A and B are shown apart, each in its own frame.
Chain A
Amino acid sequence: MRKWIAFITALLGLGAIPAYGAETYKIGAILAMTGPGAYYGRVMSRGPLLAIEEINAKGGIDGMKLELVIEDHKSGQPKEGVSAINKLVNIDKVPFILTSYSAPTLAAYPIAAEHKVLMLNGGGWSPDLVGKPYLFNNRMVGNYLGQVIAEHVFRKGARKLAMIYRNDPSGITVRDHVRPFWEKLGGTIVATEVHELGATDYAAQLAKIKAARPDVVATWSYGKDLGFIVKQARDVGITVPLVGIDWTPDGQAVAGTAMEGYEYASDYLDPDSKEPWTARFIQDYKKKYAEAPDFYAANYYEGIYILGELIKEVKQKGGNPQSGDQLRQALLAKRKFASVYGGTITFNDDGTSAKPVAVFEVKGGKPTVRTLVK
């Protein structure tokens, strides 16, 4: 009798073990969760978390739930990027990592390549992020944006271009890329001036640019620097159009009314988009986080959906979705994915991508979409 009870208890005990099958798929993220860039970590994590919530609510991917493991590179420290990826790769064993900032990404990359972990960057813009087999970028590279805005002003009739650029890779590569591009279109470069990151006095460079009599002045610069350039350009009497590849609210605060009419090309998310996925994303993000998303949040949100597609592709071919290598093969095979910006994003061999970019014009202190570039 006791043997029977023991046997039945054992059977019941076996029944209590959860059925094998509902595994979770871990995704890694290395973001700026602390430090001066904590804003970026916040928005870059919110995007994927929203995406994962949406996907899991629909039952996950083929029943598999997604889970995000976030590590902190402390606003761009390479050392922290390395510790982060070591943990993600060795302990969490993630096959896919959302990464941000050029420096920690570049530091972590060799480990990703060694373990064949696929990385997707939606924030950093350094040219060194290009041409790495296990690293893809869904953030528009400055060179491409420079080209877009150059083409835009050429079509409007400008032929003489003056450039002022920031003296670091972000500005230098754009200068080097746009110069031959502009000349091939048939235009001339009448002035090229340079400035240091964080400089506030542009009187010298702008005086020279003004004297060169350009049809348009292009600024390959970012953030507050851009604000000072625009303001001082107007203060020295430059009346021709000013264009660029960036715009931030604090640059706007510096330039004030001088920024009116400034046009720029960017992967800035259109907050008034009528595209169904875009509008829904913005609405859901606003509901969950009580503020509108910026394009960083959108890039990382989109990253999760891209991964979702890759997992499905790999499984369809009977492969192992936990293999970073197979995910990578799937990406190179499929190339085109639906983009939360509207339209599609297409990845290139070198890890760069092309997706809807817009030329924005600043009106009333806020950017408004002028034209969409597909």
Chain B
Amino acid sequence: MLELFAQLTVNGLVSGSLFALLAISFGVILGTTRTFHFAHGIVYTAAAYGAYAFAEGLSLPLWLAVGLAVVVAVLLGVGIEVFVYQPLRRLYASPLTVLIASLGVLIIVENAIAIFFSTDAKIVTGFPSRLIVLGEVAFTTLHLAMVLVSWSLFFILLLYLYRTKTGKAMRGVATSPEMAEIVGIDTRRVFVGAFAIGSALAAPAAILYTLDKGATPDMGVTAVLMAAIAVIVGGVGSLPGAALGGMIIGLARNWGIWLLPSEWQSAIAFGILLLVILFRPTGLFGVKLRKAEV
């Protein structure tokens, strides 16, 4: 039936936009620093719980709580880079070691959040959400905000990377850290910048999601997995690719259940990942990556 398809398409465009934002936040870090920053998931979660703690716990106005939550995310993301990844890199740790360390950080912080806040879903109120009905399709002003915020941030990120000096430096490091060093770019600083930007982009995604569907301590794991899949599907090293990957996942998850039972929704994303890895491993717009020894 067509009304279901139309509604699912709208759902897909909305969640696809959030996935796109998540994907570029993860892609910036992966592309620039070549770190599979699994703990990005917990930066996402921390932003959500930060917003909850400031808005509901301390009763701050929503805009202030959001701002502070972004700060929390950036501090956490940069903190992980400085205190976990940098030391490991100095010791010439293998990518596998870094991945495990990242996973360890994710698990520890996730459990700390669960202990402190308990495991039931937390909601954040204060966003004036109203229903918009267009024929057979309905969505809320919050969903509209998700789409607008995600693509605006994507646009702003592209402006930064292509029009500013530091942005260009970041692209340089992404292409080749050794060459960047040679031409005098401080790669350590750029790395930190990438983590700061990536974390700052994950925060609005987390907060918008929480305003709609609440926050749980395990929300970050799904988020980072979807982000990683989107980046791989879109092609590592390409931000438009990552964004497109996010949209593809969002739409596929919804179109998929047009015919399949809704329980299959999570499986669809991994199904797509499998197909892409088998038939087009570099992704849709992938740039050739240096081989990483694991």
Q: Which residues of A contact B (CB under 8 A)?
A: 36, 193-194, 198, 200-201, 203-205, 207-208, 210-211, 224, 228, 232, 234-237, 250, 253-254, 256
Contact = CB atoms under 8 A, between A and B. Distances in A.
Given A200-B213, A205-B262, A234-B131, 10 more contacts: A198-B121, A200-B216, A210-B7, A211-B3, A224-B121, A235-B138, A250-B120, A253-B123, A254-B214, A256-B125
B1 interface: yes
Interface string B120-153: 1101010001010100011110000000000000
Contacts of A207: 4, 7-8, 11, 254
Interface of B: 1, 3-4, 7-8, 11, 15, 118-121, 123, 125, 129, 131, 133, 137-140, 212-214, 216, 253-254, 257, 262-263, 265
Contacts of A204: 11, 253-254, 257, 262, 265
A234 B140 CA distance: 10
Given A228-B213, A254-B121, A208 B4 contact: yes
The 9 closest A-B pairs by CB, nearest first: A237-B138, A211-B4, A204-B262, A200-B213, A200-B214, A207-B7, A200-B121, A205-B262, A235-B140
A36 B119 CA distance: 11
B47 to A, nearest CB: 16
A233 to B, nearest CB: 10
A29 to B, nearest CB: 26
A205 B11 CA distance: 12
A194 B263 contact: yes
29 contacts: A36-B118, A193-B262, A194-B263, A198-B119, A198-B121, A200-B216, A203-B254, A204-B253, A204-B254, A204-B257, A207-B4, A207-B8, A207-B254, A208-B257, A210-B7, A210-B138, A211-B4, A224-B120, A228-B213, A232-B213, A235-B140, A235-B212, A236-B138, A236-B139, A253-B123, A254-B121, A254-B123, A254-B214, A256-B125
A253 B125 CA distance: 10
Contacts of A203: 11, 15, 254
Nearest to A213: B3
Given A204-B257, A211-B1, A224-B120, A198 B216 contact: yes
Contact of A228 (B4, B15, B140, B214): B214
A250 B4 CA distance: 31
A211 B123 CA distance: 27
A210 B262 CA distance: 14
Contacts of B214: 200, 228, 254
A256 B128 CA distance: 12
A207 B213 CA distance: 15
Contacts of B212: 235
A48 B265 CA distance: 47
A260 to B, nearest CB: 14
Which of B118, B119, B138, B140 has the most A CB atoms < 10 Å from its CB?
B138
A237 B131 contact: yes
A162 to B, nearest CB: 13
A56 B198 CA distance: 68
A201 B213 contact: yes
Nearest to A256: B125
Contacts of B4: 207-208, 210-211
A200 to B, nearest CB: 4
Contacts of B119: 198
Nearest to B254: A204
Contact of A237 (B8, B133, B254): B133
A207 B262 CA distance: 10
A311 to B, nearest CB: 41
Contacts of A211: 1, 3-4, 7
B257 A235 contact: no
Contacts of A208: 4, 257, 262
A204 B11 CA distance: 8
A112 B52 CA distance: 46
A251 to B, nearest CB: 11
A240 to B, nearest CB: 13
A225 to B, nearest CB: 9
Contacts of B15: 203
Nearest to B8: A207
Nearest to A237: B138
